Chains A and B, each alone.
Chain A
């Protein structure tokens, strides 16, 4: 009996071990769902809407609740099954590094902070060169705040109890359930822009209701106190600011039973997909210049290829997906499967021609191309002419959110096409983003530092352009309506843009702006900074001409008389400058040795005692500045601000090398202070003394992440993340494919590093017509000595203005030898000769063979003359 039990135990144990081992490394299984019954009809969706407590939503009741998709859609469509779909399951589990490296990447999220020059690729899926939110300390709450605008709900935006950290406000905002309507509501009222606005107002629970168009949602959860709960109802004491989110349903949507009719369809149109999946070249600013994908033009919709059932494991459409997902059906929905009837290994196991897909002729294309290149290399995305181009995508660059405010951004800079080997070993066009972030390096690993901490540590080193912009914006009331306050400096005419930063008006008069107008000065110390001095003039621009803000007068005229005439202008300018938020003192104007300032709203003059210096000062023109407590006049902007603001104005870069060096020095200081237990409360002096000087204001305080102007409201709660950076290690900055650090002498050094490698993901759309495919014009499209396909340079893009960036040829990304490809390309120049030689040789041999065959036949058949024996 014991023996039998032992055998049984061994058998069961072996079975258990086999089960466990066989489960490892397997492909993700698609959940089993109820089989389709066969009807192709789509049902009318007239159904009761329910709130998240599963109570019927009665639209006529006062303060009705928003509907919940979990309780409204869930009864017919298993919510938890849907939640396992590709759109929602990213945060379900953290994959190990090996599994993640084998997976086919998709576009990650990008944590962008222009002020600190941060562009961090973020993904729960662990794709190469991305950062897991956990590693960045990003909670589900923060992740949802950052990216909820383009999240479809579920996943991290609908966390369980364990995902609710202290800083989160889920109890106020509610969670973002899977928004079924985002993809399935065919009503033209379905509005992604409204979704984004509601998410940014932290109206998470209300976002789906508002975006569906069946109700208006007012109020902002972001302005509600942290103890407010949706069941508390509206705030009777505040009808102006902290208005609780509230819903007003459209009555015509409901019948007498309070059932709602919604135009819900299996495929509700590409418009809804494109809300989150649009892509367009950044250089194209006119919509008519863009063609549609050839599949769309042929009448196909996105979901004709990207199919799914209730499991929502949507077909991504790449060649090896059938193998990866263990679902052979998917092989027929890749380019190769649909058009050629081949699976990933090239076997004709797939039914071709779905939805009328044509058979490609590929005349003159050697088959080696199909073994080493994905279809998308030749057929998809922008053409490679001249190198990869910047493109914008909806999720990265916040496209598709319409309203008075412009939401789209230039960062992150996404480059396409960059040809790299995909996870299947085939060369595939990719989109890439070079990361840029601050970090602490220990050994070979770099740990990113959150932008909030950098902002605190960097202090006034950041945002010099904002400080200049703030002055220009403040000066607007002091000039005529047809005039624009400008700063002419460094050959550029700078004006404030709508975001308070600087825009450039390139103008010849700016380059030759008169420097004797009174408010000009020279900034910078060329001998120490190694840069040219920056001469600046505060002025006004009218009809393209720039004149001094405070006009110069005839030097022969009586200064007192001239000052009397200009007094109204002085007063207007000084009053305007009082509105500058970061001003270190009250504004003052020095003219003819006299200091003008405002005292109780009146223009006041301080006349100096007469001496040699005052006589010299009397000869100088008007100069604006800030009156310090010690009575000295400081310039409107520091030399450091002026120099750095001018350098980056009008460029996509936001930081200069000088700024980066200064911030690295401050980080090193705060890091060593943290290591020694000191309080690094004064983050800026020694290391940035040159050109920076004493902080003139705290831009971190003046800058709100979100402001009331953009319709999202501000967060009334303090940000606990903005504690000073106290990591241990060497501070570094990554930008443009290089890692920057300070050497022993405090100079900025650049080097290559794995952490600076770009995030990448394959691109498949838009598919171009055959005539625009690579190879249409012949082999020379790719095989030539100067072909863009192999030799176009991919340059590291980043917020740092520097020439120390990574530059690689496409062939390097492909893992191919550049020299060989160049030689191979050269051979195509002599290929016509080879063809002629082959043709001539073949013709000659064929002729001789034909003659010999005729002779042979003639002699064999006796038709030819016989010799006499």
Chain B
């Protein structure tokens, strides 16, 4: 069940993010929607191009070009700690959940627990330092609504609220990631205490798995929006 949900979620996120990229990188929008049909060829082309780019540019150059070098030492440590531990936690956890019947065990489990400790510390520090950046925007006085155009059709009057901006989504993902991280920490800590009976243990185990899934989805969304966000996005 968890495997199915996870795979569906990952695929869904992948297509959502790539489609978003597809829609936002075209020169002009096509109100007819016919151009949407070219999404899959676009995805194929971009994927192969991305793979070529990966092969073409040496990792060393990419590493030098990454914004990591612009960070302060503390930020470097926190970023490395958070990213490294999170990558290992996600990889070991999901690979074990998908491919190993008995789940995570042995040395990978010990490393998983150790990485969990690092992750919790780094996450707390990052959330503490970055919380202000991702606060909800201060509300401004809304502009006066335009006068109704009597010549417009009825359908034009029914207007959906605008999609949130990528920046808002990123902020949302940040807080979802933080909340999922908290759930991960709680679902790790509580089973170690002599409080929960078997049902509680099972609940915590499931909480841990799904919180991990949510945190990965949030992190991926956050990272993609950060890396491929529209240039004119705020």
Contact = CB atoms under 8 A, between A and B. Distances in A.
Interface residues of B, number: 47
Given A838-B117, A841-B121, A855 B136 contact: yes
Given A845-B185, A846-B182, A364 B139 contact: no
Interface stretch (B22-30, B45-53, B90-98, B187-195): B187-195
B110 interface: yes
Given A363-B197, A364-B194, A859-B136, A852 B131 contact: yes
B185 A827 contact: no
Interface string B6-41: 000000000000000000000000000000000000
B178 A367 contact: no
Interface stretch (B100-108, B152-160, B216-224): B100-108
Interface stretch (B56-64, B65-73, B198-206, B225-233): B198-206
A869 B185 contact: no
Interface in A353-397: 360-368, 370-372
B127 interface: yes
B120 to A, nearest CB: 4
Contacts of A370: 198
A841 B139 contact: no
Given A837-B117, A841-B123, A845-B178, A855 B135 contact: yes
Contacts of B194: 363-364, 778
A820 B105 CA distance: 11
A390 B154 CA distance: 91
B138 interface: yes
Contacts of B139: 859-860, 862, 864, 866-867
B179 interface: yes
B140 A844 contact: no
Interface in A620-655: none
A824 B110 CA distance: 7
B77 interface: no
A844 B128 contact: yes
Contacts of B188: 838
Q: Which of A368, A840, A841, A862 has the most CB of B within 10 A?
A: A841
Interface in B99-137: 102-103, 105-107, 110, 113-114, 116-117, 120-121, 123-124, 127-128, 131, 134-137
A421 to B, nearest CB: 13
Interface string A840-869: 111011101101100110011010101111
B110 A868 contact: no
Contact of A866 (B128, B138, B193): B138
A852 B188 CA distance: 24
A367 B198 contact: yes
A338 B191 CA distance: 25
Contacts of B179: 849
B189 A842 contact: yes
A30 B234 CA distance: 76
Contacts of B127: 844-845, 848-849
A364 B195 contact: yes
Contact of B191 (A364, A817, A862): A364
B54 interface: no
Nearest to A869: B141
Contact of B120 (A366, A837, A851, A860): A837
A174 B170 CA distance: 91
Interface residues of A, number: 45
Contacts, number: 121
Contacts of A532: none
B195 A363 contact: yes
Contact of A834 (B113, B135, B196, B198): B113
Q: Which of A371, A823, A834 has the most CB of B within 10 A?
A: A834
B175 interface: yes
B206 to A, nearest CB: 11
Contacts of A866: 138-141
Interface string A300-342: 0000000000000000000000000000000000000000100
A834 B115 CA distance: 11
Contact of A848 (B128, B196, B197): B128
A836 B93 CA distance: 23
Contacts of B106: 817, 820
Contact of B140 (A360, A839, A867): A867
A823 B110 contact: yes
A867 B138 CA distance: 7
A835 interface: yes
B111 to A, nearest CB: 10
Contacts of A817: 106
Contacts of A839: 189
A841 B126 CA distance: 11
Contacts of B114: 827
A424 to B, nearest CB: 14
Interface string A803-846: 00000000000000100100110010001001101111110111
Contacts of A867: 138-141
B87 interface: no
A593 B179 CA distance: 103
B120 A838 contact: yes
Contacts of B134: 852
B186 interface: yes
B212 to A, nearest CB: 15
Contacts of B138: 859, 864, 866-867
Nearest to B185: A842
Nearest to B120: A841
B124 A844 contact: yes
A820 B107 contact: yes
A845 B103 contact: no
Contact of A838 (B136, B185, B201): B185
A864 B135 CA distance: 13
Contact of A868 (B131, B141, B175, B201): B141
Nearest to B134: A852
Contact of B121 (A363, A823, A837, A859): A837
Given A866-B139, A868-B141, A367 B117 contact: no
A845 B201 contact: no
B119 to A, nearest CB: 9
Contacts of B191: 364, 366
Nearest to B202: A367
Contacts of A856: 135-136
Contacts of B128: 844, 848
Q: Which of B139, B195, B205 has the most CB of A within 10 A?
A: B139
Given A844-B124, A845-B181, A367 B201 contact: yes
A717 to B, nearest CB: 60
Interface of B: 102-103, 105-107, 110, 113-114, 116-117, 120-121, 123-124, 127-128, 131, 134-143, 175, 178-179, 181-182, 185-186, 188-189, 191-198, 201-202, 205
24 contacts: A363-B197, A364-B196, A367-B198, A827-B110, A837-B120, A838-B117, A838-B120, A838-B185, A838-B188, A840-B124, A841-B124, A842-B120, A842-B182, A842-B189, A845-B124, A852-B135, A852-B175, A859-B136, A859-B139, A860-B139, A866-B139, A867-B138, A867-B139, A867-B140
Nearest 10 A-B pairs (CB), nearest first?
A: A869-B141, A364-B194, A841-B120, A841-B124, A842-B185, A856-B136, A838-B189, A361-B197, A844-B124, A845-B182
Given A838-B189, A866-B141, 12 more contacts: A340-B198, A363-B194, A363-B195, A364-B192, A367-B201, A817-B106, A823-B110, A845-B127, A846-B182, A855-B135, A860-B136, A864-B138
